[in-house]
Chain A
């Protein structure tokens, strides 16, 4: 290419001709290049991978063709075959009365504040219970799941709410709050599956789990009060039993002691009496041999021991009158 001042029209025509030539030369390569690009694009768009937790529904010209398992698959490109991937292996969860907020931290956090209208329901005895539950389901037939109903998840939610209320509605609130949980879960599962089968929407319910079953928020404290009362009842009974157990065994022991003492006393009495009796018998035997002398001897011996104990013995001759001065003298200062 040469540079000139641009005033020469011949030069300009020459330039265009030259560019035409150059283009013609380039077109020789451009043709194949476009074909290669088209093939490449076609190649890329005619393969697709299905992840391990998925299955793919293939639609050809709008019509269902097949369902393909995980792996690499071929399809007709250019919009002829349409592939819709569905997570069939994954267990999906619908939550009622609460929502799982955060499962990343170690403890999963839940929120249930704003879903009261989902969880409050009438029970069979026309009371109200607050029932939170979750439904886990799997897509059993991806084609039916996609094309049988317009909004499969809404259907699952609607049916689940309706069925749970029906199951709860057939039970008393006491039953629901205390014992009937497992029964409710299994019953709800069966009934839900029944209704969904009627829609033929390719969903399999895996579990129905009752999360939290409570009396309504406002009523809760009074339910707790009953529990507290039960505790109190137990406590006061235990206290009374404790008192009983503290006193009665001791009293039994004391009673035993009293009886034993009496027994001791009785046997002492008997033994003493026997001793005394034997002693008397022995002495009496001797006495009978020489009554006069023995009697005298005993008398005198006794007197002598007695008199030894006395501090002050006054012997009074009955013939002496006016003893008082003597007594005053000998007894006055004592004590």
Chain B
């Protein structure tokens, strides 16, 4: 009895669910959808997330990413315009701006990756190899001004007689005209035109890594090493130079001090003696004869030693009374 009502009810509900399920679809955030009717795209792509309707059974939904997607390239060995071999590793970000075109031309992300690989690699190769290496390394010429300023400071120091060793690592500093950012911008411009055919908009290309090719790297290292060694030697030699200077100063000062002292001492002695001799002369000039006599007496006393054998003539002044004359 009950079954007569319940059975159709279940069928109706089931039918409604099936129809609802095939006429409603959920579009998640970060995605966009294209509705196709028997494989043919219908209307504009849906980009707003939420619940959407479609004709049941006849229409199908195909989802495409709406987010910014990343592309990671394989490191590429590229010679630069100035014939330096470098490895360039780029990454890029892109967005699917035309979902329909995207689906028609590349179907899915892996299809897109294959196109991106070829287009971006060739654009990168093209741009890098038509510029000098510095253009891919530096962005501004600020370094040139800075080095100029440093050089001026060093020159000032050297002029002031300071012993200065240029310790910095030398390198090649050329003026740049394009610069790193501009280079990646050029790659973007070059590739973006081609990619728009696939419904892809390139947001940016980042030169993630740029490194020397191994043999070049080795040479750079060798140069750095030999330069360091040269600087070390220079520092050492300046050290021994400074040492010699000090030693020289030592000898000079020592000699000067000693000789000056000698000179001064001699002068003082001489002056003393001169003064003394003047005093003597002044005094003795009063009675030169008497001086001669009295000095002789003194000298006899002091110069004749004890225990001297002395032979004296009895004619002498001293003994003249001995003979009773």
Query: Which residues on A are within 8 Å of B, measured CB to CB?
Result: 59-64, 117-118, 120-128, 143, 146-151, 154-155, 158-159, 161-162, 165-166, 169-175, 195, 198-199, 201, 215-216, 218-219, 222-223, 225-226, 228-230, 232-237, 239-241, 243-244, 247-248, 251-252, 254-256, 258-259, 261-263, 265-270, 272-274, 276-278, 280-281, 283-284, 287-288, 291, 295, 298-300, 302-303, 305-307, 309-318, 330-331, 334
The answer, among A219, A276, A302, for a CB contact under 8 Å with B280, is: A276
Q: Are B232 and A313 in contact (CB under 8 A)?
A: no
Q: Is the CB of A237 within 8 A of B246?
A: yes
Please, what's the 1-or-0 string for B297-317, where 1 marks a CB less than 8 Å from any CB in chain A? 100110011111111111101
A-B contact pairs, 27 of them (CB 8 A): A147-B30, A150-B70, A155-B70, A162-B208, A170-B138, A199-B68, A199-B203, A201-B68, A222-B225, A236-B240, A247-B250, A248-B250, A251-B257, A255-B258, A255-B261, A263-B268, A266-B268, A269-B275, A273-B276, A273-B279, A273-B280, A280-B294, A284-B291, A288-B287, A298-B294, A318-B313, A331-B309
CA distance A124 to B168 in the complex (A): 13
Q: Chain A residues with Cβ under 8 A from B260's Cβ?
A: 255
Residue among A259, A265, A295 with the highest chain B CB neighbour number at 10 A: A259
Which residue of A60, A154, A262, A299 contacts B269 across the interface (Cβ within 8 Å)? A262
Least CB distance from A184 to B in Å reads 13
What sequence of 0s and 1s flags, for each residue 240-279 of chain B, a beta carbon within 8 Å of any chain A beta carbon? 1011111101100110011011101111110111011101
- Kindly list chain B residues whose C-beta atoms are within 8 Å of the C-beta of A161: 206, 208-209
Q: A162-B208, A219-B221, A274-B276 are in contact. List 17 more A-B contacts (CB 8 A).
A: A63-B50, A124-B143, A125-B143, A125-B171, A126-B134, A127-B224, A161-B206, A173-B168, A195-B204, A199-B68, A228-B232, A266-B272, A277-B284, A299-B317, A312-B309, A313-B311, A317-B323
Complex Cα distance A248/B250, Å?
7
Tell me the minimal C-beta distance from A235 to chain B in angstroms. Answer: 8
CB neighbours (8 Å) of A283 from chain B are 290, 294
By the criterion CB–CB under 8 Å, are A199 and B310 in contact? no
Q: Are B310 and A312 in contact (CB under 8 A)?
A: yes
Q: Is the CB of B272 within 8 A of A267?
A: yes
Tell me if B250 and A315 are in contact (CB < 8 A): no
Interface string of B128-140 (1 = CB under 8 A from A): 0000011001111
**A122 close to B210 (CB less than 8 A):** yes
How many angstroms between the C-alpha atoms of A331 and B253 in the bound complex?
A: 60
Given contacts A233-B239, A309-B304, contact A122 B212 (CB under 8 A): yes
Q: Is the CB of A284 within 8 A of B287?
A: yes
Residue count of chain B within 8 Å CB distance of chain A: 118
Q: How far is the CA of A169 from the CA of B297 in the complex (A)?
A: 103
Query: B169 touching A127 by the CB < 8 A rule?
Result: yes
Assembly CA distance A300 to B297 (angstroms)? 10
Bound Cα distance from A334 to B309, whole angstroms: 10
Q: Is B258's CB under 8 angstroms from A251's CB?
A: yes
Given A226-B167, A248-B254: A124 and B137 interface contact (C-beta under 8 Å): yes
In the complex formed, the residue of B with least CB distance to A79 is B26
Closest beta carbon of chain B to A268's beta carbon, Å: 7
B220 touches A310 (CB 8 A): no
B221 to chain A, nearest CB (A): 5
Complex CA gap A201/B220 in Å reads 39
* B239 near A236: Cβ-Cβ < 8 Å: yes
CB neighbors of A among B120-134 (8 A) = 133-134
- Tell which of A169, A195, A247 has the most Cβ of chain B within 10 Å: A169
Residues of B contacting A262 in the complex (Cβ-Cβ under 8 angstroms): 264-269, 272
Query: Does B114 count as interface, using CB distance less than 8 angstroms?
Result: no
Q: Please tell me which one of the listed residues B68, B140, B170, B239 contacts residue A229 in the complex, with CB atoms under 8 A apart.
A: B239
| Nearest residue, chain B, Cβ from A267 | B272
User: With A and B bound together, what is the CA distance between A78 and B216 in angstroms?
Assistant: 62
A60 to chain B, nearest CB (A): 8
Q: Measured between alpha carbons, how far is A269 from B171 in the docked complex, in Å?
A: 76
Given A126-B220, A158-B206, A280-B291: A232 touches B236 (CB 8 Å cut-off): yes
Question: Is residue B318 contacting chain A, with contact meaning CB distance below 8 A?
Answer: yes
A124–B250 CB distance below 8 A: no
Q: What is the CA–CA distance of A103 and B145 in the complex, to the nearest angstrom?
A: 44
* Residue of B212, B235, B238, B277 with most chain A CB atoms under a 10 A cut-off: B235
Cβ B275 vs Cβ A266 within 8 A: yes
Contact of B265 among A199, A230, A259 (CB under 8 A): A259
B184 to chain A, nearest CB (A): 8
A295 to B264, CA, bound (A): 43
Chain B 207-228 per-residue mask, 1 if CB under 8 angstroms from chain A, else 0: 1111110000100110011001
Closest Cβ of chain B to A255, distance in Å, is 3
